[in-house]
Structure 1
Amino acid sequence: MKLTTTTTTTLVLLFLLVASSSLQVSMAGSAFCDSKCQVRCSKASRHDDCLRYCGVCCTKCHCVPSGTAGNKDECPCYRDMTTGTGDHKRPKCP
């Protein structure tokens, strides 16, 4: 089967269109994480930062502790995620 230049170009463009659509979907937050993080960060003084880190943690751990603070034992993965190493190690998830 011999593909013409037009057919090959069309297939490449179609592939790029499908690939870019799936990339946008995978970068968007899930409804579960978005709603849980909205509650978790509702009283945070740095709301945008809280939402960003909560979203990262939720995506990785598939859970967010209840309430606006504390309760991290409900989700050990979320509780144990940290930034940095050694003396600079701090909790990552709000």
Structure 2
Amino acid sequence: MKLHGTTTLALILFLLLASSSLQVSMAGSEFCDGKCAIRCSKASRHDDCLKYCGICCADCNCVPSGTAGNKDECPCYRDKTTGEGARKRPKCP
């Protein structure tokens, strides 16, 4: 009976540790969070801007300065697109 209690406790601890590390890995980096907060500060669709900026920043390790434009500062960010053909448009805000 004591073995089951120890095993159950170990399993619970493992699940708690695994879930907390998953939350950390899903959170954005301080660099991207800070840069995207500035980039999206004037966006009308703030949540969408933060989402796509975070994705682009994680891939490119850079975010252009300011709230719009300046994409030449970060060619990777500038050149990311969604879709193909007629639906192709810039992905990063």
* Shorter-normalised TM range: 0.7 to 0.9
Once the two structures are TM-superposed, the CA of residue 37 in structure 1 deviates from its matched residue by 0.9
Aligned counterparts, 1:78-89, within 5 A: 78-89=77-88
Question: TM-score scaled by structure 1?
Answer: 0.85
Match of 1:70 in 2: 69
Deviation at 1:85, TM superposition (A): 1.7
- The match for 2:28 is 29
Unpaired runs of 5+ residues, structure 1, are none
Offset, 1:26 = 1.4
The residue that corresponds to 1:53 in the other structure is 52
* Deviation for aligned residue 1:31: 1.7
Quote the Cα distance in structure 1 between the aligned partners of 2:45 and 2:82. 18
**SS in structure 1 opposite 2:43?**
coil
SS in 1 for 2:49: helix
SS at match of 2:65: coil
2:91 maps to amino acid? K
1:9 equivalent to 2:38? Answer no
Over the residues paired in the alignment, what is the CA RMSD in angstroms?
A: 1.6
For residues 75 and 91 of structure 2, the distance between their equivalents in structure 1, rounded to whole angstroms, comes to 13
Aligned equivalents of 1:77 and 1:19: distance in 2? 33
CA apart distance, 1:57: 1.1
Question: Identity of counterpart residues, as a percentage?
Answer: 76
Structure 2 gap segments, 5+ residues each = none
